[in-house]
């Protein structure tokens, strides 16, 4: 098997996943949190595609396609929520959206 070794894919994936995770946990703006989630999903895609190449098996690639579809759906809902919040003229700050607390 020629080309880039598997470890590089995994390192890239790991790095992107860590960035996404930090983003989700640190950011307060829901729009940016959605972006961070997208980052995590796509890092997973990179890992899947990398493994698919490594094992010469297309299952991983198909799985990546499914993840993309899920990510698109998630973005639709997430952006819909963000727009709804924006229409209410509320601050785009997740820490203040806590009316469902126990």
Binding residues for another protein, rule: CB under 8 A, are: 21, 24-26, 28, 33, 94-95, 97-102
CB of residue 26 to another protein, shortest distance in Å: 8
- Nearest by Cα to 42 from 73, 81, 68, 60: 68
Nearer to another protein, 65 or 70 (CB): 70
Which residue bears the tokens 């895609």? 45
Least CB distance to another protein at residue 77 (A): 15
Please answer whether residues 42 and 13 qualify as being in contact, where contact means their C-beta atoms are separated by less than 8 angstroms: no
Give the Cα separation of 22 and 33 in Å (integer). Answer: 10
> Min. distance of Cβ 72 from another protein in angstroms?
21
């Amino acid at each position: 098997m020629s080309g880039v070794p598997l470890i590089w894919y995994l390192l890239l994936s790991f790095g992107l996943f860590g960035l996404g995770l930090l983003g989700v946990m640190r950011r307060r703006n829901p729009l940016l949190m959605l972006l961070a989630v997208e980052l995590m999903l796509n890092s997973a895609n990179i890992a899947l595609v990398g493994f698919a190449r490594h094992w010469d098996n297309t299952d991983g690639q198909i799985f990546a396609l499914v993840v993309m579809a899920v990510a698109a759906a998630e973005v639709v809902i997430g952006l819909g929520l963000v727009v709804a919040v924006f229409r209410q003229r509320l601050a785009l700050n997740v820490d203040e959206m806590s009316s469902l607390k126990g």
